[in-house]
């Protein structure tokens, strides 16, 4: 008897790794039947970033409501489902535990298998909703907490060939936005300002010449902050649009250069860009253009904007892969806030 032994292959997926409570119903790993996302952005804006305790309390308030809404919107009953997929890491430990506890309770109550999902794998499999993934492929993961180049020989296989040694790209965006007095999260606003300015400040392109695929954005962040503080001390006026454009130009050049080099060295059929920063228009346009020019035969895939941020639909897509490989969890499943691809 196969895992998907019902007429429809349906998985309920739960995501609560940071500041979005999300529940989805996914069919065949590639069709979104429902995808409920309860965002906490407004609650965290006054703090200038995500406060773990606040995030956890919101998850407690929203998780059962999201489960009910996802089932109603999908028009399915628990008896129609084949399993429950849930993010168990990486992320905020308190936030993860709430999603895991809800998934365990739902799975136990309805006698459904529990499927553990790596949050970052979910981001990659969000691209599966655009078109079927073909292997081998390269994935550029860019988010608030991660910047990684991941090579996948086959589905469910992950090899990190490059990663940030300090700040992630999204983290650098938020810190720079704070210096500019922008509202959290500031990535979208910096992207918009960058399209109105020019790269006149020429910030450093860290590690771009090094013979590896690692990244570093801490030095760029420090250079940006020093430029702003030095100008303030000398009462010099800075052009905000140009500051944003210069910062973004540095981030994009490093990400694109190393990604293109990696795709030339590794045999790949597709390049997937995923994660919150994948919503950045400047990065999407530049990487897409470079792939067209320098990587003939490689298909560039980016999830739609609504699937770039944290959501349960991507968790459901990854859960199908895990289920088909026979990767299930018992009720001892615990949160792993530092989970990496090496331990999946």
Q: Which residues make up each annotated binding site for substrate?
A: 141-145, 174, 187, 191, 280
Query: What backbone torsions phi and psi does residue 72 show, to the nearest 5 degrees?
Result: -65, -45
Report strand pairing: 159-163 vs 270-274: unpaired
Beta-carbon-side half-sphere exposure of residue 224 (alpha carbons within 13 Å):
29
Q: Are 138 and 295 in contact (CB under 8 A)?
A: no
Q: Of 84, 109, 77, nearest to 99 (Cα)?
A: 84
| Binding site per annotation, positions for Fe cation | 119, 123, 310
Q: Please enumerate in sequence order all residues whose Cβ is within 8 A of that of 59, keeping only pairs 6 or more positions apart, or say none.
A: 16, 21, 95, 98, 99
SS3 sequence of 124-193: HHHHHHCCCCCCCEEEEEECCCCEEEEEECCCCCCEEEEEECCCCHHHHHHHHHHHCCCCCCCHHHHHHH
Our CA angle for 89, 90, 92, nearest 5°, is 95
Q: Which residues are annotated as a binding site?
A: 119, 123, 141-145, 174, 187, 191, 280, 310
């Amino acid at each position: 008897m196969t895992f998907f032994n019902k007429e429809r292959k349906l998985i309920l997926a739960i995501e609560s790794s940071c500041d979005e409570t999300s529940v989805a119903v996914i069919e065949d790993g590639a069709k979104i039947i429902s995808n409920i996302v309860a965002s906490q952005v407004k609650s965290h804006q006054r703090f200038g970033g995500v406060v773990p305790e606040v995030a956890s309390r919101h998850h407690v308030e929203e998780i059962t409501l999201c489960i009910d809404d996802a089932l109603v919107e999908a028009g399915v009953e628990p008896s129609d489902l084949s399993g429950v997929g849930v993010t168990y890491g990486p992320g905020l430990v308190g936030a993860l535990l709430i999603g895991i506890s809800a998934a365990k309770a739902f799975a136990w109550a309805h006698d459904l298998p529990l499927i553990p999902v790596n949050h970052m794998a979910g981001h990659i499999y969000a691209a599966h909703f655009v078109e079927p993934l073909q292997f081998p492929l390269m994935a550029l993961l860019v988010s608030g907490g991660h910047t990684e180049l991941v090579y996948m020989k086959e589905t469910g296989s992950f090899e990190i060939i490059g990663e940030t040694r300090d700040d992630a790209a999204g983290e650098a965006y938020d810190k720079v936005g704070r210096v500019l007095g922008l509202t959290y999260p500031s990535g979208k606003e910096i992207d918009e300002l960058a399209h109105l300015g020019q790269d006149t400040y020429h910030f450093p392109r860290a590690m771009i010449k090094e013979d590896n695929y690692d990244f570093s954005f801490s030095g760029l962040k420090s250079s940006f902050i020093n430029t702003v503080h030095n100008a303030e001390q000398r009462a010099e006026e800075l052009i905000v649009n140009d500051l944003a454009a210069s910062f973004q130009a540095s981030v994009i050049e490093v990400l694109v250069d190393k990604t293109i080099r990696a795709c030339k060295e590794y045999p790949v059929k597709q390049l997937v860009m995923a994660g919150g920063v994948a919503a950045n228009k400047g990065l999407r346009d530049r990487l897409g253009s470079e792939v067209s020019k320098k990587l003939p035969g490689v298909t560039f895939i980016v999830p739609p904007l609504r699937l770039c941020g944290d959501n349960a639909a991507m968790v459901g897509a990854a859960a199908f892969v895990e289920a088909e490989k026979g990767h299930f969890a018992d009720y001892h499943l615990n949160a792993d806030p530092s989970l990496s691809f090496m331990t999946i």
